[in-house]
Amino acid sequence: MNFISTLEHFHNKLWSYYVPIPREIGDRFIEGDNRRVLCSINGCKPMHSALMHKDGAYSIYVNTELQKKLGIEEGDTVSVALEKDTSEFGIPMPESFEVLLAQDDEGRSYFQSLTMGKQRSLIYIVQKVKNVDSQLAKGLAIMHHLKEAKGELDFKRLNELIKEYNNRR
Structural contact between residues 49 and 37, judged by C-beta atoms closer than 8 angstroms: yes
The H helix count followed by the E strand count for the chain is: 7, 8
* pLDDT value of position 14: 73
Burial class (CB in 10 A: 0-12, 13-18, 19+), 121: middle
Sheet holding 2-6, edge to edge: 2-6, 77-84, 36-41, 47-50
pLDDT (0 to 100) of residue 164:
93
Q: Residue 13: which pLDDT band, with cuts at 50, 70 and 90?
A: confident
Report pLDDT digits (tens) over 71-98. 999 999 999 999 999 999 988 899 999 9
Show the domains of the chain with their CATH numbers: 2-84 (2.40.30.100), 95-168 (no CATH)
Q: How confident is the model at residue 169 (pLDDT cuts 50, 70, 90)?
A: low
Confidence at 10, pLDDT banded by 50, 70, 90: confident
How far apart (Å, rounded) are the C-alpha atoms in residues 145 and 153? 8
How much of the chain exceeds pLDDT 70, in percent?
Answer: 99
